[in-house]
Copies of this chain bind each other. A is one copy, B any other.
Amino acid sequence: MFLALLLILAVWTGPAAAQSTTVADWGEADLATAAALRDRALKGTSAYDHVSSLVTEVGPRLAGSPGDEAAVRWAMNRLGKLGFTGVRSQDVLVPRWVRGTTEVSLLGAAPQALVAATLGGSIGTSEEGIEAAVIEVPSLDALIGNEAPDVKNKIVFINERMERTKDGASYGKTVGNRVRGASAAANLGAVAVVIRSVGTSDERFAHTGRMVYDMDAPRIPAFSLSNPDADSLSRHLKANKQTRLRLKSTARELPPAWSANVIGEIPGTDRADEIVLLGAHLDSWDLGQGALDDGAGVAIVVEAARLISRLDRKPKRTIRVVLFANEEFGLSGAKEYARLIGDEHMKHVLAMEADTGIGPVIRLETQVAPESLGAIETMRKALQPLAVEAGNNTASGGADLGPLRSLGVPVLDPVLDASLYFDVHHTMNDTLAKVDAKVLDQTVAAYAVMAYLAATKQDDFGRLAPDR
């Protein structure tokens, strides 16, 4: 009994003990500066101007496209004008896929054009297109499961709806339809795949996004339908099992093109060789303006760093903003960054990315050494009055951080409210009209505080076990 009580006391004192370690992590002046930085950002930042400038002057910027080139120039100029130091680019070779035109029609007495997108990476059709009957399946699992339907010479329609969730976790549950649907269908003899968009809105926009062919599967074209059009097709199939579609696409792959990561820094004081990395990606899909994906992320990290650069009390470590090339089409920018830094990865104390829209930050997840979790809790508390929950320590931290994480770099993963993000993600409707400046400012406040505290912390965040 006494032992049990002791154990309970031990558990109870846990958090207090963890907090007491943070007294050593930061001095009073560091924490006061972080609080002032937060309050300054909450009063209003220039983040909206950054997104507005990017989407107005550049707009869509698919990897390797003229828009992508313009985005690299924009980023170099912007970071320079804002007073970043060491502004530079790293050449990155990127795949160059071109959408061309897309036509999906429901055949019948009066053919109906459906709102569709060719999925990123898909081959096109022949000039005549594909005309075939449609087989509906409720999910990728149902397609490849034991009861796989006979889809030979047919068009497979994967009709699974992505549910709306606050943290966007449902994306992971349905995105496989998009990524692997084509090869799964092709392996069963289908001539094309059409999926319900991986997206949450009932507005009539098709969601694009990358698909990947299995090495040994026949290559068939892949399309997505807007949610209302997936509804229509499904209603048609209920009334008439013989429903046919006509599919046409002039999508094609061109030779790889050069793009670039763009880098700028806020130099540290006495530990300038140590780096806190703030990442976002500069490329976007071709359909929209890339305001949320990832113009907002670019604005968040650029503005967080800029606000830190204006402080009297500079951070000890260098804050490095990296605007990655080509997140959407295979992460070649992130991989090239990790390759080019070589051993400098050991000097990367922490990495954070912003790539799920405008926010606000609702939860703080991490993957850091367990000894640092007390410090993380102090950082989270420094964000008040922003209501940011504590999260787990198994976060992945954003797609562009994968290669760094594999090398052992700890990551901090602020989870953004993504309730509305997947309404417009990868659609034509990803525009500045979806950017709420006030919400964006809150996210900037959170990123700025976290970056500042990471860059002034006495000890580092440990290292992760490298993947390979």
Contacts and interface: CB of A to CB of B under 8 A. Distances in A.
Nearest to A202: B433
A228 B431 contact: yes
A326 interface: no
A172 B431 CA distance: 28
B52 A428 contact: no
A232 B56 contact: yes
B232 A429 contact: no
Contacts of A57: 239
A177 interface: no
B65 A110 contact: yes
Interface in A225-263: 227-228, 231-232, 235-236, 239
Interface stretch (A66-74, A273-281, A310-318): A66-74
A55 B58 CA distance: 38
A204 B292 CA distance: 14
Nearest to A69: B110
A435 to B, nearest CB: 11
A208 to B, nearest CB: 14
B109 A70 contact: yes
A66 B109 contact: yes
Nearest to A56: B235
A59 interface: yes
Interface in A194-208: 202-205
7 contacts: A56-B239, A60-B110, A202-B434, A204-B429, A204-B433, A228-B432, A231-B433
A112 interface: yes
B112 A232 contact: no
A183 interface: no
Contacts of A65: 110
Contacts of A282: none
Given A205-B204, A232-B55, A433-B227, A428 B115 contact: yes
A289 interface: yes
A109 B61 CA distance: 12
A136 to B, nearest CB: 15
Interface in A80-117: 106, 109-113, 115
A67 B110 contact: yes
Closest 6 interchain pairs by CB? A202-B433, A59-B112, A228-B431, A70-B110, A67-B110, A66-B110
Interface residues of A, number: 39
Given A203-B203, A205-B204, A232 B109 contact: no
Contacts of A205: 203-204
Contacts of A228: 289, 429, 431-433
A111 B58 CA distance: 9
Given A202-B434, A204-B431, A228-B431, 19 more contacts: A52-B235, A55-B232, A56-B236, A57-B239, A59-B106, A59-B112, A60-B112, A60-B113, A66-B111, A204-B205, A204-B428, A204-B429, A228-B289, A228-B429, A231-B431, A231-B432, A231-B433, A232-B289, A232-B432
A113 B66 CA distance: 13
A40 to B, nearest CB: 27
A113 B289 CA distance: 10
Contacts of A433: 202, 204, 227-228, 231
A55 B111 CA distance: 12
A57 B61 CA distance: 39
A113 to B, nearest CB: 8
Contacts of A431: 202, 204, 228, 231-232
A172 to B, nearest CB: 25
A2 to B, nearest CB: 62
Interface string A104-132: 00100111110100000000000000000
A69 B109 CA distance: 9
A194 B33 CA distance: 51
A236 B111 CA distance: 39
A239 B74 CA distance: 15
Interface string A423-439: 00000110111100000
A228 B115 CA distance: 19
A65 B113 CA distance: 14
Contacts of A59: 106, 110, 112, 232
Contact of A429 (B61, B203, B239, B434): B203
Interface string A279-291: 0000000001100
